[in-house]
Amino acid sequence: MQSLGSTRVALLREPGLPLTAEESPAAREEPAEAVETPGPSWCPLCCSSPCGSRTQPEAKKKAPCRGLGLFYALLSAFLFSVASLLVKKVQGLHPVEISAFRCVFQMLVIIPCLIYRKTGFIGPKDLRIFLILRGVLGSTGMILLYYAFHMTSLANATVVSFSCPVFTSLFACMFLKEKYSLWDVLFTAFAITGVILSVRPPFLFGSHTAEMTGSYSDHLKGTFASLGQAVFAASTFVILRKMGKSVDYFLTVWYYTVAGLLECVIILFALGMWKLPNCEMDTLFLLLLIGLFGLGGQVFLTKALQIEKAGLVALMKTMDVVFAFIAQIIFLHDIPTWWTVGGALCVVASSAGAAIRNWCQGSK
């Protein structure tokens, strides 16, 4: 009985010996495969898929380059300044008609872009009201600015219109809850000083208003039109910043062109100022370039506002003043007064200070 039991025990043990001693490599890998992690992206430390430590570098790669938003704003300012110079060169057309042609050209370019990007023509339901406001306010500001270019000098109209950082910072603080620091107050003070030196109101400057080109009444009309454009532009900046990247920038330009074209058509038929079919070929070519540069400025401005604070973008766009002075001297042969130059320097100082401060904050 005892030998039988020991034999039975040996028989039970012997079948297991080859499994441990002569086990194939493939068989030894099976347990490892059985306990393999659920996937290459699963992390045993954070017990999540994908791993948070792996997704963080990808998020950093997708982050915009420091200062890219300000570069877009600067490029937008340059394109808008070229368009402004071309508007000043067009003669015999009402400013509203020029605005209408720009909207038509932009519409012809935007439609294929929207079809290719498959973004639709309406936009998200919860953001349509902001898109409509962006279109109406932006197009109204464009019409006022073109009217200002016809009533006063290019430099004066540009300087006054770029007082919009004053309104942009205030609107962003009120509606976007963005911080309004003491630096913003300083930059705003520089911008206001620049506008005052450019406008030169009689109750402050007296006889120095006689140095202006043209009548002072036309200068005031252009000044108020530029100031109105600043308010509408500031509202547009805040709305674009509010929507952020949730709306494709081509869709925002689409609403801008549609609303602008409707406004221009209504105003032109009300005034009876439609003259486009009687334009010469050189005028049509200038209008085509106005639409091209205006579209580029709109696209880069929208991209800048998607990745940068609204107040900083508005301040950086005041570099348009520098481009306007250069264009007025070289192409229009109109030398600005020293008062206007002083105002422009204040505006440029405000813009440069904002850019340097933003760069220092990003490097910390």
Sign of the Cα torsion 274, 280, 283, 285 reads: positive
Q: Is 80 exceeded by the pLDDT of residue 4? A: no
156/149 Cα distance (integer angstroms): 9
pTM for this prediction:
0.70
Work out the mean pLDDT of the chain and round it to a whole number: 75
- Compute the residue count for the chain: 364
% of the chain surpassing 70 pLDDT? 72
Q: What's the pLDDT at 225?
A: 92
Higher pLDDT: 21 or 79? It is 79
Q: What's the pLDDT at 228?
A: 92
Q: Is 50 exceeded by the pLDDT of residue 351? A: yes
Tell me the mean pLDDT in the region 324-329: 86
Higher pLDDT: 265 or 170? It is 265
Q: Is 90 exceeded by the pLDDT of residue 211? A: no
Judge contact between 142 and 299, C-beta under 8 A: no
Q: Is 90 exceeded by the pLDDT of residue 144? A: yes
331/286 Cα distance (integer angstroms): 14
Which pLDDT band, with edges at 50, 70 and 90, does 263 fall under? very high
Of the candidates 355, 322, 360, 362, which has an alpha carbon nearest to the alpha carbon of residue 70?
355
256/103 Cα distance (integer angstroms): 8
The predicted-structure confidence for 36-67, as pLDDT tens digits, reads as follows 444 444 444 344 445 444 444 444 445 567 77
Q: Is 80 exceeded by the pLDDT of residue 208? A: no
Higher pLDDT: 49 or 339? It is 339
Q: Is 80 exceeded by the pLDDT of residue 87? A: yes
Q: What's the pLDDT at 332?
A: 84
Residue 18 identity:
P
Which pLDDT band, with edges at 50, 70 and 90, does 89 fall under? confident
